[in-house]
Amino acid sequence: MTTSEAVALLERYRAGEITADEVLRVFRVAPYVDLGFARVDTHRALRKGFPEVVFGAGKTPEQVVAIARRIWKNSGRVLVTRVTASHARAMRKAFKRAVHHEIARCIVVEREPLPKLEGTIAVLCAGTSDLPVAEEAAVTAEVMGNRVERIYDVGVAGLHRLLSHLDVITKANVVIAVAGMEGALPSVVAGLVSRPVIAVPTSVGYGASLGGLAALLTMLNSCASGVTVVNIDNGFGAGYAASQINALAAVTK
């Protein structure tokens, strides 16, 4: 129920066309609907330009295209994550503007990119096998209007590589640290910077890496303050949360 519909209802009541009871019966149900619309409205204002996102995994190419079309109509911006080759083919056929980020396993369709926020998000990853997750985070952040600094292959077993990028890292508003195996990167990074660090464990590793659980536990138990964690391989979640933080900085200026 929109505000004008609500006002119309009240006016019909004032005009004596309906009783107070009838008004209340509508309002008793309305709030939930209202809440829905309100939420969409508020969010549209706050998150303007943020793409709605399609999680591709487990969906057929046809389903992905259909959902993407609906989002495109509303917002002119679509992000599809976890795409396969056949998703990509179908999307490129359906959308001339579709850009396939292969390593990130993402497809982006945009009328025009969002204007970039001022601050940067640094995306670090420990090893080359962590690249797909790091790229998913980076592409997500970029399509949401952020400048992203990629600093890859800076695992803690070769500390000098990490330290040589310290300047770029300390200048970022938020740091996303992606790591599999022992997952020590976020702890080391959070000890070096004073900004929020979002840790992303990856399922890279073997033996007792337990599909990423080992890295996840490492990150949750970080002895460095300021580290928060997202689910294993959840590059999108990290990119999204980092974007919220970076946007907050920009919004509150």
Element spanning 21, H or E = helix 20-46
Angle subtended by helix axes 131-143 and 235-251, to nearest 10:
30
Least Cβ distance, residue 151 to its own copies (angstroms): 13
Least Cβ distance, residue 243 to its own copies (angstroms): 9
Residues β-bridged to residue 228 = 198
- Which of 115, 156, 169, 178 touches its own copies (CB under 8 A)? 156
Least Cβ distance, residue 97 to its own copies (angstroms): 24
End-to-end CA, the chain: 34
Using CB under 8 A as the binding rule, the residues of this chain from 111 to 130 that contact its own copies are 118-119, 126-127, 129
Residue 143 in the binding site for its own copies (CB under 8 A): no
Which of 122, 118, 98, 96 minimizes the C-alpha distance to 109?
Answer: 98
List of residues 6+ apart from 135 with CB closer than 8 A: 101, 103, 104, 105, 106, 235
Residue 11 in the binding site for its own copies (CB under 8 A): yes
Least Cβ distance, residue 45 to its own copies (angstroms): 9
User: Of the two residues 91 and 125, which places its CB atom closer to its own copies in the complex?
Assistant: 125
Using CB under 8 A as the binding rule, the residues of this chain from 30 to 89 that contact its own copies are 30-36, 38-39, 42-43, 46-47, 53, 57-58
Sheet holding 106-110, edge to edge: 52-55, 77-81, 106-110, 99-101
Least Cβ distance, residue 58 to its own copies (angstroms): 6
User: Of the two residues 6 and 99, which places its CB atom closer to its own copies in the complex?
Assistant: 6
- Which of 66, 85, 103, 248 touches its own copies (CB under 8 A)? 248
Please give the single-letter amino acid code of residue 151.
I
Q: Which stretch binds its own copies (CB under 8 A): 73-81, 88-96, 106-114, 158-166?
A: 158-166
Q: Which stretch binds its own copies (CB under 8 A): 19-27, 68-76, 83-91, 93-101?
A: 19-27
User: Of the two residues 33 and 97, which places its CB atom closer to its own copies in the complex?
Assistant: 33
Please give the single-letter amino acid code of residue 8.
A
DSSP string, 211-232: GGHHHHHHHHT-SSTTEEE--T
CB distance 181 to 244 below 8 Å: no
- Which of 60, 102, 116, 158 touches its own copies (CB under 8 A)? 158
Q: How many CA atoms lie within 13 A of 91 on its CB side?
A: 31
User: Of the two residues 146 and 209, which places its CB atom closer to its own copies in the complex?
Assistant: 209
Count of residues near its own copies by CB under 8 A: 106
Q: Residue 116: phi, psi to the nearest 5?
A: -80, 135
